[in-house]
Structure formats: C-alpha cells, structure tokens
Structure 1
Amino acid sequence: MEAEKIIKPANGYLMLAIFLVLFFGSIALMIRYENPIYIITIVIAIIMLFGFILVNPNTSKVILLFGKYVGTIKKNGLYWANPFYTKKKISLRASNFDSERLKVNDKLGNPVMISTILVWRVTNTFKAAFDVDNYENFVRVQTDAAVRKLASMYPYDNFADEGHEEDITLRSSVNEVSEALEKELEERLSIAGIEVLEARIGYLAYAQEIASAMLKRQQATAIVAARHKIVQGAVSMVEMALEELNKKEIVDLDEERKAAMVSNLMVILCGDKEASPVLNTGTLNH
C-alpha cells in the first residue's frame, strides 16, 4: 500500500511569465513574418496552460498520471506541473456533520432517539482519495453505525429504585459517552485518513411510544426520593425534640405520651398540607 507523498511542483508565476511570452510572442511573430510555423509554439503554449495548479489555503491537490499516484500538493500557491497530470481537490478544512435522529435500543432495550455532532478533517489525502470510494459518504455511514453501537452499550438513564445510580448512562455521563464515541469513530474513520476533532451527542430522548410512560416513572422516582429525604429529616427533628425536652426537663413524658407526640410530629412534618392545630385546654390525659 502506498503512503501519502508531499510534492512541490515548479513555481507557477515563473511558468506563467514563460507562457505569456511564448503565447503572445508567437502570435506577434506569426503576424509579422506571416509564417505558419509559429502555430506550433502557440499550441505548445496552450498545452502549457493545462499545467497550472492553484492550491487555496487548507486545501490540497492529489496528482495522478494516467492512474498512477504522483503525490499531493498541500502548500497553498500557484504551481505548474505536467499538463497531463490529473488533479483531484481534497479539502483539509474542519467539517461539521450533524447526523439524522436515529431510533435505536439502549442497553436495557428501551427505544431512544439519538443523533451526534461530529467535527472531522482529512489528514491523509492518499487514504481519503483511494482507500474509500467517497470519504464524505463514508463519514456519514460510519457515524450512524458508531452511534447505534454506542447506544446499545449504555442505558438511557438509571433510576434510584434499581440501585445503579453511579453507572454510566447516555443522559448523565456526557464526558464518558463522548470519549467512547470519539474512540469508536477514530477506529472506524482511520481507514479513510480522517481525524476526529470532536464527537458528542447532539440529541437524546426516549422514543415517542414510551416517552409518556418514562416521564411518569421519572416523576414517581423523584417523588419517592423527595419523600425519603423528608422522612429522614422528620425523624431527626423528632429525635432532637425528644432529647431537648428530656434534657431541659420541660415535661415528663411516659412511653405512651412519647408515642403520641412522635405520631403528631411525624404527621405535621411529613404531611403534604399544613396541619390544623387542636388546642387541648384540659390535662395531658385528655
């Protein structure tokens, strides 16, 4: 397998001056001396015209001679080479690719909609020109394949009731998922001489058919988690209240009264609505 070869043809400005002298000089001499022999030099000058190569910044020209790879011109400027060379332009600029939203199954089998944003550029013109049929289409197809594989490796989200809060997920582990996506794309696109500058998830959501059910599950999980925190705080406050009452000897409570007090405080602290106070104007026994 051949490798990329950087070449630098002849200075184009010098050859342009030679072309102008040869072309217009031949015309002038043919008119002055009325000699058709100068037509040959005019034809040679016209053939020379096909040898000029203009390379713009951050672009390259892959040079072929009757199907054989000659080299690649990467430095911008005006050059002149064999007029029979075939020139193929390949951009070296960074390109963005925003993939379509794909419906795939995550690790748990849930259908999700996902797309990716890819920033890439060509670094090896030989591979991009000859190792793949169309390197831009190759990027699109391989990106879709990498996204499908990535989605099947991780769950969309983990819920508190499953006990996997620290696992990598598509929704919450942005850095880890982006690194895995970049690594997968680098392996796939290296065959085309393409460098991956950045790859990240551009869109992520549950598929429409399960989005409503998953939203209810997320809401239920959030409610349970909130209730768990409320109960923990309420138990701590009740414990502190009993300790302070006992420490300061404000009132002497037996076990039955403690149980009633704990019950009332838990209802007040854990209830959704504000409690309605009931005043006892009698003794503690009533």
Structure 2
Amino acid sequence: MQTEKIINPPSGFFALVLFVASIVVAAIFLVSIPALSGILLFLGTTLILPGCIIVNPNESRVLTLFGQYTGTVKKDGYFWVNPFTAKKKVSLRAFNLNGQQLKVNDSIGNPIEIAAVIVWQIKDTAAAVFAVENYIQYVNIQSEAAVRHLANSFPYDNLEDETATITLRGGAEQVSLLLEKELNERLARAGIEVLEARISHLAYAPEIAHSMLQVQQASAIIAARRLIVEGAVGMVEMALNKLSEKNIVELDEERKAAMVSNLLVVLCGDRSVNPVVNTGTLYH
C-alpha cells in the first residue's frame, strides 16, 4: 500500500514573476527579432503557470507524475510544482457522518433501530487516494457495517439477558468506545482516523415496541414493589422493637400478627387507607 510522503515545493511567487518576465521578453523578441527562439521562449512560458498551486489551510494536494506518486503538499500557501504533475485536492478537515437508521437484530434476536454519528478525518492522503476507489463512499459503507456488527454483539437491555455486562442502552460510553475502535480498524486501510463515534438513535422496532414497553413497565412495577416491601418489613420490625423496648403495650403472637398485617397493608398499599375504630378486642 502506498504510504504518504510530504514534500515542500518552492514558492510560487518566484515562478509567477518569472512567468511575467518571460512573457515580456518573448513579446519583445517576437516584435523586434522574429525568430524561432522567440517562439520557443513564448511556448516555454506557458508551462510555468500551470505548475502554480494554491493550498488552503486544512487542505492538501496529492501529486502524481506520469502515474507515479511524487508526494503530498500539506503546508498551506502558494507553490510551484512540475507543470506535468496531476494535482488532486484532498481535504484534511473533519467530516461529520450522520448515519441513517438501520433495522437490525440485537444479540438475542430482538429487532431494533439504531443509528450513529461519526466524526472522521484523513490522516494519510496517499492511502485515501490510492488504497480505495472512493474514500467517502468507503467510510459510509464500513460505518454501516460496523454499526450492524455492534448491534448484533450486545442485547438492547437486561430485560431478557440479565447476565449481560454491556447493553446498548445501558452501556453508552463502552459501546461508543467499542464502535470507535472497530471503525478505526476498518478505516485504517484508507488512511482515515475516527475522532468520535456515538449512538444517535436507539429504539425497539415498531412491531415489538409496544410489547417491550409493557415488559419494561412490568419490570419497573415489580422493582418498585420489591423496594416498598423491603422498606415496609423494616419499618414493621422497627415498630415492634420500639413497642417492646418501651413496654408500651404487651403483644402476644396473635396481636403481633394482626399488627404486622395491618402495617403491611398500610405501607404496601397503593391507595390511601381509611381509619377504622375498633371498640372490641381480638378475642370478643
């Protein structure tokens, strides 16, 4: 694979001055002394100007001479190179790729929609020009392949795979780092470096979105109930211990069971309770 070779050609201002001077001398020769030398000098001056190139900041020129790569000009300014060289402009600015939404299956087979935003930049101009046919199209295709592979490697969340250490929804930072690493490996052939890669869209596919939403709601309710029960049991235990320590009331096992039942109903219920005044006892 062709590797980048940076060159610093001479300034183009000297060539521009030489071009103007040559035109003047050739015109004088043609007027005063019409001769073959004047015609040849005039034709020679026309080869000076095509060799002048302008390189803007964060741009480069890849030069080839008769099919041979001669070097890359990365320094911005006005330069003169061999007029017979082919000069291809390659931007060194950062590109932003907003990937389209892809419908793929996660690692456990659930259809999901996923998209990524990728920031990339050309580091090796020779590889970008000579290693691939079209480096922009190459980035687009390889980015899509990397996002698909990432989605197939991890589950959407832990609802169906509780043993998963990384999920697409919960491990955003880790997923982004893995995507960036894979993209750099895929795009290294084209001399391209990925500066940042992040998931911009992630959702269940429409055909299962409603069902998965119900599953998520059920999981949330179960988790909330579990937390409420744990807290209620702790509060009941604390209440019984306090009553026993301060000898407020003597409770036998049956009264304790009734109090525990009432407290759990009050603490775990999802509605406000209505007080009931009991004028009797548990035994009459």
TM-score normalised according to structure 2 size: 0.95
CA distance in 2 between partners of 1:41 and 1:82 (Å): 18
Shift of 1:83: 0.9
Shift of 1:2: 3.6
2:76 is equivalent to residue 62 of structure 1: no
Q: Structure 1 residue aligned with 2:258, among 252, 257, 260?
A: 260
User: Retained in 1: the 8 A contact 2:2–2:130?
Assistant: no
Q: Which runs of 5+ in 1 are unaligned?
A: none
Show the 5 A alignment for 1:11-160.
Answer: 11-31=11-31, 33=32, 35=34, 37=36, 38-159=38-159
CA displacement 1:125-182 (0-9 Å, x = unmatched): 11111111111110000000000000111101113x8543x62100111111011101
User: In the superposition, relative to structure 1, how do residues 2 and 272 fare at CA in structure 2: closer, same or farther (>3 Å)?
Assistant: closer
What letter corresponds to residue 3 of structure 1 in structure 2?
T
User: Number of residue pairs matched?
Assistant: 283
What letter corresponds to residue 167 of structure 2 in structure 1?
T
What is the aligned-residue RMSD (CA, Å)? Answer: 1.6
CA displacement 1:239-276 (0-9 Å, x = unmatched): 11111111111111111111111111111111111111
CA distance in 2 between partners of 1:255 and 1:201 (Å): 58
CA distance in 2 between partners of 1:48 and 1:213 (Å): 72
- SS for the counterpart of 1:97 is strand
Q: Which runs of 5+ in 2 are unaligned?
A: none
Show the 5 A alignment for 1:238-253.
Answer: 238-253=236-251
What letter corresponds to residue 108 of structure 1 in structure 2?
I
CA distance in 1 between partners of 2:145 and 2:269 (Å): 51
User: Retained in 1: the 8 A contact 2:155–2:161?
Assistant: no
CA displacement 1:172-193 (0-9 Å, x = unmatched): 1111101110110111000001
Shift of 1:201: 0.7
CA distance in 2 between partners of 1:285 and 1:25 (Å): 129
- SS for the counterpart of 2:5 is coil
1:271 corresponds to which residue?
A: 269
CA distance in 2 between partners of 1:108 and 1:135 (Å): 34
CA displacement 1:97-119 (0-9 Å, x = unmatched): 11111001101111111111111
User: In the superposition, relative to structure 1, how do residues 177 and 245 fare at CA in structure 2: closer, same or farther (>3 Å)?
Assistant: same
What letter corresponds to residue 235 of structure 2 in structure 1?
M
CA distance in 2 between partners of 1:113 and 1:2 (Å): 38
User: Retained in 1: the 8 A contact 2:52–2:80?
Assistant: yes
2:9 corresponds to which residue?
A: 9
User: Retained in 1: the 8 A contact 2:2–2:131?
Assistant: no
CA distance in 2 between partners of 1:162 and 1:123 (Å): 40
- SS for the counterpart of 2:34 is coil
CA distance in 1 between partners of 2:156 and 2:282 (Å): 56
User: In the superposition, relative to structure 1, how do residues 212 and 147 fare at CA in structure 2: closer, same or farther (>3 Å)?
Assistant: same
Identity percentage of aligned residues: 53
User: Retained in 1: the 8 A contact 2:2–2:127?
Assistant: no
CA distance in 2 between partners of 1:6 and 1:143 (Å): 28
Query: 145-154 or 245-254: which moved more?
Result: 245-254
What letter corresponds to residue 237 of structure 2 in structure 1?
E
CA distance in 1 between partners of 2:161 and 2:73 (Å): 58
CA distance in 2 between partners of 1:163 and 1:80 (Å): 65
